A and B are shown apart, each in its own frame.
Chain A
């Protein structure tokens, strides 16, 4: 069983990719070591710290709690796929402006979790940001900059979507 290799196709950051994995290969290991997405960070391997969070069909998942084969025919977004055309995503930019990162190890998981949080709740309160980000551990920042960054990013994204709507109606 351990030696068995399974071929799988999936989409990562908008590109179709394929690879071969054992049934027991974790999705986090597969993304990092087979496909080279080293922005997926592994902090605990038991689903608590959130560093390995990726978006699977736009839903945040802990890639250390999934097997690679479970991602077959699914679409994954890692931190490497968030920026478009070299421009930071508004959440990334807010983390930069508000000192929402220090060592950067929790950052990919934090940013992707925040992207999802703002999508679900475009106008979050500080309390709901703290609550919504509480599944991701950071040991450097004391969460100060992270909370500020997520609040600011929500505002930026709201402004952006409002101006997009205005353009559409014009």
Chain B
């Protein structure tokens, strides 16, 4: 039975009180036993060097130090982590023979407390012989570049070419070809809580208990299990109640889970490690930096017929799972919101002496949106068509959905023109253009920028396999991959209270609140009437390979499973009530904690029903009915890639219309985002407040990447931004005034009509802000091709013009 009423709302969230009273339970808050050892890592001070010798004696002599392990020791119980790309250089998470980036773990010191472990790190004697380093992606791809992995013979660790439609004809027949070269920077959206792992080895079962602030995807659990040489189920993964921000970065904790687990096995004691901030910036993970060329075949009236792109992606010192997935968004949604029916994309992943990469909020989205939106601005400039008009002309139309793109993506719904118009209403009502003219008249450099992008969400795990060629995927013995699904469990206790368990651990998104809203709606209850368990213990929590908080999948996939479970439990309750109230199930309504027979006075409370079903089960006629239900939900339309590399990469496709207003100080050239408008199609909104919060946070993540945040290396491979003094996160002073709205082009495919929206402007804001800087520098013909946009970069544009 389908319940059709609005989602109940509450002020604040179910999670808030715990966190505001200081009673959050993060990884470093968990109690540990007295036998627990504390770990500290010795990390490479060199970008590239041979390890000439390690002498442990002085470290082992430090008071409190119990053990010092290197790769040679850990190798006894820990294998390399399997890669998606067969034959890729070995990745062990700890240096063997050579160090390949500053911050790479070289040894682990275990001691009675962290202070003693750090003393051990200071005392450890390691001799290095420095080697020439390479940090730039194009320099590393050159034949003369220093090799990171000597046996591999090249730093180009993966390359592939993808072709859709008929790009050759489109380019031959184009009225104009518009091309640009771009550089996207390396950054990490730096959750404020760093990584933390507590691991224990259980010799009786040859298994591990690992506590860690791991966000998923759980497809990385088999990677970890293979490295630890145990079946998947022999790792009991426990994720604490609270995670202090994840942003994709906390997917990449898995090598540290492996290292600490191996330490615990060798030491025969539990081991705890909490990463510090310098370690996080040097040694956790980041998004990729990318050099690229993108060009469009454009018709006289500004229509884009085809795109060609050449991507050189810097994956750092090792290609580790789930890379090279960083480039896949650039294939699977290369056309964005536009009707571009042909494309050719060449992509290469290159190894350099920098921190290895992985997920970072948007995972490849910000890189490709920067390319495509910079290109649309360039087309507008070269054709003389207004920036917004050129986008409108190329947009897919509302009547065309659902729409199959040339890459196989199946866009569920949208009204791009309508959503953009809503954003423009904000721009007009707030008088942006007048404000720009006034500020310019007073001598200030002010500009307005735009980005219109598609937000794919709830990814199809099959997209990862685009890294392999169709021939490889066609081989015998190859196991195809596709889909995304999750579980929910719901139970009614004897007092009539509903409890829901989900298989994902959030990091501030408000999962418990949203789940309670879904269930409360189904039963006509208040949000606070529902208890939600949203933490993971794989010994008891159901999970799948695709479980996790990533790819903006929660509301689509977990939300779908919760809705199904709630509806099925409601059906069971109607059957039970029908025997107690002597009425057919389809005549029974559940609302406000009451079970009522329609058009009658006959009713009983949820509490009475639960009591009867629990205590008087023998008198109920049908033994099939249950008070607890587990349901799974797999997002629809997600198949494995076909032989032409076509795949529907995600379950939902939202749309984002973003505007940024940027001011540049005419003396110091310091840029500043004054205002931001974000109108996003998120489908049905379960909780508008949570969505606003996600978008506001996304805007500032995108802003950080556009203007401030940069994991910057010098030529020797030394990192120049290894503390929060040098790695600049935006503060409240840098955050702009925001106008945020959501637009509902309900998804026809998902259970709740929702679309994922969690990565949002973290992907689009770099493009919108670059566009605004161009506009602010219009008198100098400014054109931003590289991020972050720093004052020296702006100065070069201005100086170049005059």
Contact = CB atoms under 8 A, between A and B. Distances in A.
Interface stretch (A55-63, A94-102, A152-160): A94-102
Interface stretch (B197-205, B639-647, B693-701): B693-701
Contacts of B23: 39, 80
A48 B458 CA distance: 35
What's the interface size class on A, roughly?
35 or more
B15 interface: yes
A140 B115 contact: no
B623 interface: no
B218 interface: no
Contacts of A79: 20-22
A67 interface: no
Contact of A143 (B20, B29, B243, B732): B732
Q: Is the interface of B mostly helix, strand, loop or mixed?
A: loop
Interface string A100-144: 011111111001000000000000000001110111111111111
B17 interface: yes
B724 A49 contact: yes
Nearest to A37: B22
Contacts of A105: 24, 26, 191-193, 242, 244-245
Contacts of A102: 245, 507-510, 693, 697
Contacts of A11: none
Contacts of A40: 22
Nearest to B189: A139
Given A45-B277, A130-B732, A144-B696, A139 B192 contact: yes
Given A22-B115, A43-B192, A45-B276, A139 B701 contact: yes
A113 B22 CA distance: 15
Contacts of A96: 11-13, 16-17, 20
A53 interface: no
Contacts of A139: 189-192, 245, 247, 697, 701, 729
Interface in A19-55: 22, 24-25, 32, 37-46, 48-49, 51
B724 A46 contact: yes
Given A46-B724, A49-B724, A142 B21 contact: no
Q: Is the interface of A mostly helix, strand, loop or mixed?
A: loop
Interface string A72-83: 000000111001
A83 to B, nearest CB: 6
A146 interface: yes
B539 interface: no
Nearest to A39: B22
Contact of B192 (A24, A129, A138, A145): A138
Interface in B237-258: 242-245, 247
Contacts of B731: 130, 133-137, 143
9 shortest interchain CB distances as A-B pairs: A39-B22, A103-B508, A104-B19, A105-B244, A102-B508, A142-B696, A79-B22, A48-B724, A142-B700
Interface of B: 11-13, 15-24, 26, 28-29, 63, 115, 119, 189-194, 242-245, 247, 276-277, 507-510, 689-690, 692-693, 695-701, 723-725, 729, 731-733, 735, 738, 740
Given A101-B16, A143-B732, 16 more contacts: A51-B192, A80-B21, A92-B20, A99-B13, A102-B509, A103-B19, A104-B242, A134-B731, A134-B732, A137-B729, A139-B701, A140-B245, A141-B697, A142-B695, A142-B701, A142-B735
